[in-house]
Structure 1
Amino acid sequence: MATVTKLKTKAGQVRYKARVRITGYPVVNKTFPRKTDAHAWAAKVEKQILDGTYFEHQERRRNTVDALIDRYLGTVLPDKKPSTQRDQVRQLAWWKREIGKTTLDRLRPALIAEKRDELAKDRSGSTVNRYLAALSHVCTVASSEWHLLEDNPVRKVRKRPEPRGRVRFLDDRERTALLEQTAASPNPYLHTIVTLALSTGMRHGEVMNLTWHNVDLSRRVIVLGDTKNGERRAVPLIGEALDRLKDLRQAPRIDTDLLFPSYKDSRKPMDIRGAWGKALEDAGIEDFVFHDLRHTAASYLAMHGATTSEIAAVLGHKTLAMVARYSHLSEQHTVGVLERMNASVFGDERKT
């Protein structure tokens, strides 16, 4: 219950002490110069305690963004993949520098939006959105699990526009030239690596970190357990890529399980940057990076009639949004399909 007691200071001033005492909760006191203010405060606090919000609000006033991020880094982030940890540590360190001293009761969307705009001055929209996503997950955990925030304020902050995804793929001449140069490369693994990436659409890290434990030649499949989206993925092995791995299996390194180990340290994958760059140069290919082999595989799939859901399944994307960039290539194939259907149904009399 709430009570208000009249007090007199040593200087003779009258004050009113409001006290809220509810069984099972700490006693809460506050003194006011006016009796009406004391009663109003006591009634408000009593209701908040009974609703279960008062002490949560007090925690928000005591805790800072600094403390919130530190708790997240210590308890939540260690469960994430190492690559994700590295990125989020860097992103959250930036937020700590910018708003770390802000108490949680003052963490407002307007403040976050202001910092978003500062980020956007020298960073791309995609990068800004990754920074927002890192802070957003901290706030989500703080709200849903720790009850230190009433809601996630980042949800009310607009993301920055992101450029349409890059689609750079090899045309027939470039593909032939590149494969010729990788086959002629002094690096014994380069041709197999490029063939595998081009055939399967696997990421650079997925290819380079492959072990024989991932490869089942009898079933013609590679099983990836540590993918970018954190899900297990099976990658079919077909044609040239399968043949190349069969050849590689004939003379495996006995000091490592890696398919493509470094010469200097067999526990680490090989660094192919030099050999890769030389092959591109000799093939006369410009504006092309290793990741574009993944785009090339996806583009070829689209041009051969694969649906967006099929492309997403091959590449290991959780949503179709990431493969929308290849839709125009699928549309070209669709036109051909419709032309053949119309020719079959309506015959030649409809030709102009």
Structure 2
Amino acid sequence: MPFKRKGSPFYQYDLQIGGVRYRGSCGTEDYEEAKAVEAQIRMDVKSGQVNTDRFTLGQAFGTYQHDVISGKSSERTHLSQARAVIGILGSDTPIDKITQADIVQLVTSSRRRVTPATINRWLEHLKRAIEHMGATHAAALPKIDWKRLKQKEPKERIRELSFDEQGRLFHHLREDLHPMAWFALMTGARRETVCTLRWNDIHFDRNRMHLPVKMDKTLIFPMNQEIRELLTNMPRANTPGTRGYVFTYLGTDGSRYPINPTGGYIWVQWRKALSDAEIEDFRFHDLRHTFATRLLRQTGNLKQVSRLLGHESIETTMRYAHVLETDLEDTMNSFSAASPTVSPTLSNNVLKFKD
């Protein structure tokens, strides 16, 4: 009968037929559907119709989830991405039959609903799931030009939260959401990182945190006293299945629940707080920009800021260089080569030139 492995949302099958073992993912979270998938596999094997190098898209995502993503803090996000792709391409589609045109259709049908960055993350997840089946299960793979499919992402604008806006935001933001907003301001962590962070990523004994970042990578982040006090005084989730999450919200039943990074009721509350605080053109991601600009303004060290943001290249961090340029202007406006206290001008006759 179908079964679930710890940490995997999908049912698995493990069959022994004619001395040969067949195992893999049913590609579904529904038990009845999983039983139907297992029964079909059993029939196909007995009739000689099974082809062990061909897998469906649902099986590819399920297997990748089990082999690679299971137990990671980003698991919920990857599951959401898999559902989005399957909703368009279909769970039963053989992966070797997926064409370039199919992926183009996925992209074009999604543009009105999600950003180019989100589409690129979907494509990356799809590519990894398919290639994983080829590498580990010798699956027949489609010929897809992934580079041509990548969407051009608009240049990210820098929006910094002023301290006056910050005060208004926390005044109007519901109190149980304060910790996640403070954490983003203190660390520059992305929305997905904040929502998927677990207590086993926090190491109080070493004053370190392992923050999940893009592409299943981990950023080792130092924990200062301010961050430590925030985390130490936070309430813990007390409902089954949610105790591991650091940032949660308070439900109407008095229990705490994890925050969905991709949308939902909590983000409606976030936007309402911004509206009530009369803060315009501001997103949760701008808390990351605020952290970066404030830190760069205080330290002047672009390389250190780059490392704390988890950027692979310092060129990515250069978008914040305007902070340094502004500081340089302020420095030059207060600088005088003629006197430590007087700034020379043509009118004050401090500098005199001879022919």
Task: Name 1:194's counterpart in structure 2.
Answer: 181
Deviations 1:319-349 (A, max 9, x none): 5565454343344446667x49996799999
Equivalent pair of 2:338/2:344 in contact (CA under 8 Å): no
Deviation at 1:223, TM superposition (A): 1.6
Matches within 5 A, 1:54-73: 67-73=55-61
Task: Name 1:95's counterpart in structure 2.
Answer: 89
Deviation at 1:170, TM superposition (A): 0.8
Deviation at 1:87, TM superposition (A): 0.4
Deviations 1:149-190 (A, max 9, x none): 5885224525232111243221243234335x26xx773x44
1:268 counterpart SS class? strand
Equivalent pair of 1:197/1:207 in contact (CA under 8 Å): yes
TM-score (norm 1): 0.57
Equivalent pair of 2:54/2:140 in contact (CA under 8 Å): no
Task: Name 2:288's counterpart in structure 1.
Answer: 294
Q: How many residues align?
A: 278
Distance 1:232 1:69, change over 3 A: same
Distance 1:76 1:193, change over 3 A: closer
Give the alignment partner of residue 268 of structure 1, picking from 248, 257, 268: 257
Deviations 1:266-320 (A, max 9, x none): 4524786576556534533123233321221122223335555433322334455
Equivalent pair of 2:116/2:152 in contact (CA under 8 Å): yes
Q: State the structure with more CA Rg.
A: 1
Gaps of 5+ in 1: 1-61
Deviation at 1:244, TM superposition (A): 4.5
Distance 1:258 1:113 in 2: 34
Give the alignment partner of residue 221 of structure 2, picking from 227, 230, 235: 235
Equivalent pair of 2:131/2:141 in contact (CA under 8 Å): no
| 1:76 aligned onto 2:64 | yes
| 1:280 aligned onto 2:267 | no
1:76 counterpart SS class? helix
TM-score (norm 2): 0.57
Task: Name 1:154's counterpart in structure 2.
Answer: 145
Equivalent pair of 1:174/1:283 in contact (CA under 8 Å): yes
Distance 1:257 1:108 in 2: 40
Distance 1:243 1:212, change over 3 A: same
| 1:304 aligned onto 2:298 | yes
Equivalent pair of 2:199/2:245 in contact (CA under 8 Å): yes
Distance 1:139 1:322, change over 3 A: farther
Deviation at 1:235, TM superposition (A): 3.3
Percentage of pairs with the same residue: 24
Distance 1:128 1:269, change over 3 A: closer
2:105 counterpart SS class? helix
Distance 1:135 1:276 in 2: 31
CA RMSD after TM alignment: 4.7
Give the alignment partner of residue 117 of structure 2, picking from 114, 123, 126: 126
1:153 counterpart SS class? coil
Deviation at 1:118, TM superposition (A): 3.5
Distance 1:70 1:335, change over 3 A: same
Give the alignment partner of residue 168 of structure 1, picking from 153, 159, 173: 159
Gaps of 5+ in 2: 1-49, 70-74, 260-264, 347-355
Distance 1:122 1:282 in 2: 28
Equivalent pair of 2:208/2:220 in contact (CA under 8 Å): yes
